[in-house]
Structure 1
Amino acid sequence: MPQTIPKKKVRKPQKVGKAQKGKEEKMQPMPVYEKEKIPFRLRDKVAIITGGDSGIGRAIAIAFAKEGADVVICYEKDDVDAKITASEIEKNGRKYLLIGGDVSRENHCQKIIDRTIKTFGKIDVLINNAAVQTPQDELKKISAQQLTRTFEVNIFSQFYMSKAVEKYLKKGSSIINTTSVTAYRGSGHLLDYSATKGAILAFTRSLSSYFSEKGIRVNAVSPGPIWTPLIPTTFDAEEVATFGSNVPMKRAGQPVEVAYAYVFLASDDAAYITGQVIHPNGGEIVNG
């Protein structure tokens, strides 16, 4: 017998008639204009943040705690920054979990998910934020080792974390990936880094399509020049001195100026947004 395609559930169509044109009170159904104001937009949510110990990750963790979330801070080696971030979460009356290790390894990503479930019993938000960059002024200086490491940390980790968390996500959950303005305009001295950020952009759009029918939203944030520990660690003194001055706002942004983009995307305020990117970049116009 030939196979039949199962019918999809069809929602009721909006109706239109002569009498209701231009008259909102006659629309069927009525448009929704407001909802109850919630004092804590992320109340009792559990969020995992890779690279959550410093920089943008720390700002996100603190912002999430202020909005009522418990936070899992994933960091690589040194736990000093992670403990400082944890203390800020605690000051805001929320719980935290610190997990050190290398997110470029799939087994460690699975460990993060397992420990989070064991501690909190659920996962509402995954923020794939961990990244590395190594500027090089010549293409030939980018070794196979550097190229591999940059891709493993920046994009492979996002695959591994998303894969491991999938079975725990439910309708209303969200994944937020950190990409970069370099995904749109490129960077001559960050070739491998820019390539990974472009991959994250495509991954975000594809993952949003994959999860859309399940009611799980996937979006990204694409920061421009933000003043984080990564900048003085990887750029020379001259570049650090002028960092951020080439954007329309003529300055580098602060991590806190990026953090609330993640809060918005994780909250019900962004319930109709998926597969999109927010650009806190000081006014630089990007296409795509």
Structure 2
Amino acid sequence: MAQQNITLITGGSRGIGKATALLLAERGHKVCINYRQREDEALAVVEAIRRQGGCALAIAADISDEQQIIEMFSEIDQRLGPITGLVNNAARLFIQSRIEQLSAPRLEQLFAANISGSILCAREAVKRMSTQHQGRGGAIVNVSSAAARLGSAFEYTDYAASKGAIDTFTRGLSVEVAAVGIRVNAVRPGFIYTDMHAEGGEADRIERVKSQLPMARGGQPIEVAYAIAWLLSEEASYVTGSFIDLAGGK
């Protein structure tokens, strides 16, 4: 009998993380929803999953803090068991800015969450998944961004740079853990209808830019979730070190 997948989704209380949590639970995963501040929203996702007969829990942890990451993984071990899947989705975004306005504290906060947090979560996941550590293998999906390719000039060059680092990390880690039963891939969404744009100071950004996209529309979180779910699944068993772009053809 196949063992059940146990998957952690960082930043799982809203947007792409929420859509992914709901989809994975529907497909039989035990799901841990990580959140930093939005407890009510995270608990609402857990409740929705449980109403459908699924298994879910929510854990508060700021992934820019190494100790909180370690404690989160320990709690998952105790309550669900060692994870088999990790979706590195949590990320920070600050107000749109040109280079002249960027500050060191902003960069430190952004890189701590978007780069260091994802790498440290992957470290803890590998410790549990690796066959070298008596794990049963697993899969990691890093949520990068089309910004890593496009650069986000005049708006989010710092955010784009952080996602460029995630792309490089994805490639390197995929090679490092390929022989110990772990696949590592990334999705690069862009122009998706989520609340994140409000944090950048332009809640309706997708409406402004959608006419510039070949598909002439923004994307929905579930469209990204489908790609993430596939990369975690056995259907993608020979896929590692790969990227799926979800940006309407941009």
TM-score by length of 1: 0.81
Partner of 1:17: none
Q: CA RMSD in A?
A: 1.6
1:185 corresponds to 2:150: yes
Instruction: State the Cα distance separating 1:171 from its structure 2 match.
Output: 4.4
Contact kept in structure 1, 2:93 and 2:199, CA below 8 Å: no
Q: 1:76 to 1:238 in 2, by over 3 A?
A: closer
Greater CA deviation, 212-221 or 227-236? Answer: 227-236
Partner of 1:213: 179
Quick one: distance in 2 between partners of 1:118 and 1:179? 29
Quick one: distance in 2 between partners of 1:233 and 1:155? 19
Quick one: distance in 2 between partners of 1:43 and 1:230? 35
Partner of 2:19: 59
Which one-letter code corresponds to 2:102 in the other structure?
I
1:202-224: per-residue Cα shift (whole Å, max 9, x none)? 00000001101112100001001
Which one-letter code corresponds to 2:25 in the other structure?
A
Q: 1:74 aligns with which of 34, 38, 43?
A: 34
What secondary structure, in the 3-state scheme, does the structure 1 residue paired with 2:142 have? strand
For 1:1-288, list aligned pairs within 5 A: 44-169=4-129, 170-188=135-153, 189-236=155-202, 239=205, 241-284=207-250
1:84-104: per-residue Cα shift (whole Å, max 9, x none)? 211221123111111112111
- Structure 1: give runs of 5+ residues left out of the alignment: 1-41
Q: Based on CA coordinates, which of the two structures has the bigger radius of gyration?
A: 1
- Structure 2: give runs of 5+ residues left out of the alignment: 130-134
Quick one: distance in 2 between partners of 1:97 and 1:198? 31
Quick one: distance in 2 between partners of 1:47 and 1:249? 32
Equivalent pairs, count: 243
Quick one: distance in 1 between partners of 2:125 and 2:246? 27
Quick one: distance in 2 between partners of 1:240 and 1:250? 10
